[in-house]
Structure 1
Amino acid sequence: MLSAVCSRTGGSPEPSSWTVSTMVPVLLSLLLLLGPAAPEETQAGNYSLSFLYTGLSKPREGFPSFQAIAYLNDQPFFHYDSEGRRAEPLAPWSQVEGMEDWEKESALQRAREDIFMETLSDIMDYYKDREGSHTFQGAFGCELRNNKSSGAFWGYAYDGRDFIKFDKEIPAWVPLDPAAQNTKRKWEAEAVYVQRAKAYLEEECPGMLQRYLPYSRTHLDRRESPSVSVTGHAAPGHKRTLKCLAYDFYPRSIGLHWTRAGDAKEAELGGDVLPSGNGTYQSWVVVEVPSEDQAPYSCHVEHRSLAQPLPVLWDPRQQAK
């Protein structure tokens, strides 16, 4: 059974109602839950290929029963779901010729979908619960550092809890849930399945990543400077709220903080970095200051695209009182 998951076998892309902006934040959170993600700050010569799967026992509009997304570093590379059953490259890779045989990739994803949903069904049978709404999720992938394989991961979760993971050093599937004992027996019914899983993580996945990089380095290594907006608002009888928003930047890592007359201020809210849905990121920090305070406040922005930190002054004369 696992051979279908671990070997590349073989339709053409067709449009899908799935939207990257809807699912990317959810899937990035899943990747962090199930295994090491693409490095938060991508350095030269450091790349990753990751796959994230979600299966739903009770699909709803906009969320098919099964969907998969592949990432190069933190960028969505292609999408597949149970409605179209086609692997569809996403921009900018949708404009690239010869990077992948999408007929074979679609067939591979269909095989993986069948096994994935069969496993979800097995788990529901184990717990004798076919009436509830259940979610099965998986993440696996590999990394290259300086053109050499440097790590891999493969794990699954059921209803938000760790279910089973593959340890390539043993090698074996390690159950993390009572129902996973049955899954382990099924996936290890023949020793060749375990060896194929190990070979996928150690050889095939890094090989795929190596093959993709000539088409992708320009996009993955790019630097886009943040646009910055500072605003202030004060309701009668309350402190003034200052917000600094940085957006449209890449790569992901950024530093934002407010200063008062040159001294750093601790943020009240913000600090998270979120995908914008267009391949860039956004982040913000908020501070509260006495409404009568007229001292100079600045938002300081640090990012790899900037030669030096960028201070953006808040001018109370241009803001709401």
Structure 2
Amino acid sequence: RIEYPGAYYHVMNRGNRREDIFLTNKDRQGFVDALADSCDTYSIKLITYVLMDNHFHLLVQTPQANLSEFMRHFLVTYTVRFNLRNGCTGHVFQGRFKSLLVDEDEYLLPLSRYIHLNPIRSKRFKDADIPTKTEYLKEYSWSTFAGYCYLRKRNKNIDYSWFLCTYFGEDTAKARRRCREYVYQAIDGEIENPFEAVVHQSIIGAQDFVDWVRQKLPRKAQREVPALNRLQHHISVERIIAEVAKAGNAKAADLRDRKTKLKDLRQMAIELSYRYSNYKQKEIGAIFGVDYSTVSQSRTRLKTKLNSSRKLKKQFHRIRAQIEKMAIPKI
């Protein structure tokens, strides 16, 4: 599997012999509880999930490049608890889980929508009208969708604010409505399938992202993309700030200053710290003198700027390439 710190994954697994993995709602709640326990143990950021009768989908980020360890722990934990609760023995899941590395910039948002639409992508809803489908999605208990739309339906183990701030600008009633409408828009007509962008059976991403991953592979691994070793080690935020400052002919102290005139460089330093350090947004914010939400907003603003300015995007990629060289362990 392709593993590196900060990577995003779509993860899926089915029941053994395609049998149900949930017999009752106690099993479903047990699944959610086991998932929360494993995410906490392995410092996993859980973004979305949906539970169906005989399979599940997850969208996660792995700050510590430990997807395999996390999933092994989670699947074993759920299997043991399921068997004890139901007086069963043997396997619950069908072999190893499947995972795809996800390009955050281009595919994380549409993939989250595809996952959240799973409950109505069945024969049962083939001829159902739109109001029936939207109501079912809104009331479906075993998905993160409702929590992104309504505060009262939130799960304390999900960081809803990060996703909403990143893709809808803020975590407010207006942003939650926009998130809800984004999903509902795909109900009326053919549902967009992000899995059509899968490359090498391992990656969902645009070509520049695929090229970025390929550049990190040793020659042998380029021929065997699924069998990739971990790519990076963590870099301190201080080193990242220094590198960004050097690239912009500035001082590191200027980038840490909240009142700096070098807004673009400061936002780049924040974004690259998020991608390549082992710091969480709250910890990054402390270094830059801001709170957690401001870090998220800064990253969102930078993403908008990069999409509208070719010159700025070129500068960012040049600095990121230098940071990546620092992130590759020497063998």
Q: Of the two, which has the highest radius of gyration?
A: 1
Which TM-score tier does this pair reach, normalised by the shorter chain? under 0.3
Specify which structure has the bigger relative contact order, considering alpha-carbon pairs within 8 angstroms and separated by 6 or more residues.
2
TM-score by length of 2: 0.26
Structure (1/2) with the larger strand percentage? 1
